[in-house]
């Protein structure tokens, strides 16, 4: 919120800000598995703190940069636990004067994550570009493109898979592209609801028991004991649709309470489908 206030002030001096969040989530299918036998839900808690710097460059363009620390703990699949450190940079501008003028934003981010399961350790990174506009006093809309990627610190081949199928390790090296459209509506002065539809295409990692169709459609394979001693991580191309709704209630000028729901539906390597539901609750603070 302090960042938005700074952006609204023409030619403001450089300003420092801090954002933090605590989140609890339930994911019905964190392994992105297809069959009922492989699908298990999971609870997690996470925290993130960002310290940032903001500079108004012109009367319509502002630059911000952050240093970020984050972590997550899972109730059952503790191999997904991680701590991470990284940063982000973004440039935001307006295409006119006034609160209803269209705006644009471009940015990038990266974070090095250390997981409890070492093969997942590595660098997560991304870039995005978005445009938006406020319509009237309560409604705002946004169109966004984003690229996401992750690169593992090390890879381990599964010898028999290499010998029989010529497929190497590196199942946790992923990348993808996402386009999304969203809208936010201010129900009251303190309560807002937002909805978003997103479509992602690119590599995903699905962890199941040994499944020949998934193996043959994969570009990389690794053992994945995070979800069980008999689980294998298959990486391949997928098309995924995301449907999100979120409610945000302002507790004060600096804090908000948020509740969200996400449904995802994916087609992996044109071979099989998986879906999942995620419910999130978070407390966010900014000053």
DSSP 233-266: EEEEEEEEEEEEEEEEEESSSSEEEEEEEEEEEE
Lowest mean pLDDT among 140-149, 164-173, 254-263: 164-173
Buried b (16+ CB within 10 A) or exposed e, 142-169: bebebebbbebeebeebeebeeeeebbb
Q: What is the CA radius of gyration of the chain?
A: 21
pLDDT in tens, 27-63: 999 999 998 989 999 999 999 999 999 999 998 999 9
Mean pLDDT of 259-277: 94
Question: Could you tell me the two tokens for 255?
Answer: 């804090």
Between CA 157 and CA 160 the distance in angstroms is: 9
Residue 271 main-chain phi, psi, to 5 deg:
-115, -45
| Strands annotated E in 28-102 | 42-56, 61-74, 82-94
Domain that holds residue 202: 2-286
> pLDDT value at position 155?
87
Lowest mean pLDDT among 9-13, 124-128, 142-146: 9-13
pLDDT at 7: 41
Pairwise pLDDT comparison (122 vs 2), residue with the higher score: 122
What pTM value is reported for the model? 0.91
| 182's tokens | 């969203």
Task: Report the percent of the chain where pLDDT is more than 70.
Answer: 95
**pLDDT, tens digit, for every residue of 80-95?**
999 999 999 999 999 9
pLDDT of 13 reads: 65
Q: Looking at residue 45, which CATH number applies to its domain?
A: 2.40.160.40
If you average pLDDT over every residue of the chain, what do you get? Answer: 93
Cα separation values, 270 from 8, 36, 132, Å: 47, 19, 33
Length of the chain: 287
Question: pLDDT at position 4, please?
Answer: 42
pLDDT tens-digit series, residues 65-78? 999 999 999 999 99
The per-residue pLDDT for 96 is 86
- What is the C-alpha to C-alpha distance for residues 256 and 265, in angstroms, rounded to an integer? 29
Is the pLDDT assigned to residue 284 strictly greater than 50? yes
- Kindly state the helix (H) or strand (E) to which residue 181 belongs, with its residue range: strand 174-186
Total tally of structural domains belonging to the chain: 1
Check pLDDT > 80 for residue 5: no
Q: Could you tell me if 278 and 26 are in contact, meaning their C-beta atoms sit under 8 angstroms apart?
A: yes
Is 3 a residue whose pLDDT tops 60? no
Q: Which DSSP letter does residue 117 get?
A: S
């Amino acid at each position: 919120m302090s960042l938005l206030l700074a952006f609204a002030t023409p030619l403001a001096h450089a300003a420092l800000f801090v954002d933090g969040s605590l989140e609890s989530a339930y994911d019905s299918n964190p392994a992105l598995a297809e069959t009922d036998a492989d699908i298990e839900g999971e609870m997690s808690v996470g925290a993130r703190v960002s310290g940032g710097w903001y500079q108004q460059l012109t009367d319509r363009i502002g630059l911000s940069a952050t240093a970020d620390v984050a972590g997550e703990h899972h109730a059952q699949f503790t191999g997904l636990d991680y701590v991470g450190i990284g940063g982000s940079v973004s440039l935001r501008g307006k295409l006119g004067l006034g609160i209803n003028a269209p705006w644009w934003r471009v940015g990038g981010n990266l974070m090095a994550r250390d997981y409890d399961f070492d093969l997942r350790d590595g660098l997560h990174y991304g870039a995005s570009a978005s445009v938006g506009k406020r319509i009237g006093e309560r409604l705002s809309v946004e169109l966004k493109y984003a690229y996401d990627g992750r690169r593992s610190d090390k890879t381990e081949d599964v010898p028999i898979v290499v010998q029989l199928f010529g497929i190497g390790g590196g199942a946790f090296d992923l990348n993808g592209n996402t386009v999304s459209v969203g809208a936010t509506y201010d129900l009251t002065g303190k309560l807002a609801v937002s909805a978003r539809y997103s479509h992602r295409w690119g590599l995903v990692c699905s962890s199941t028991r040994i499944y020949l169709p998934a193996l043959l459609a994969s570009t990389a394979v690794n053992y994945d004991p995070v979800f069980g001693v008999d689980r294998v991580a298959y990486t391949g191309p997928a098309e995924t649709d995301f449907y999100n709704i979120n409610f945000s209630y302002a507790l004060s000028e600096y804090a908000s309470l948020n509740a969200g729901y996400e449904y995802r539906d994916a087609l992996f390597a044109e071979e099989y489908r998986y879906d999942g539901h995620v419910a999130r609750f978070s407390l966010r603070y900014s000053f």
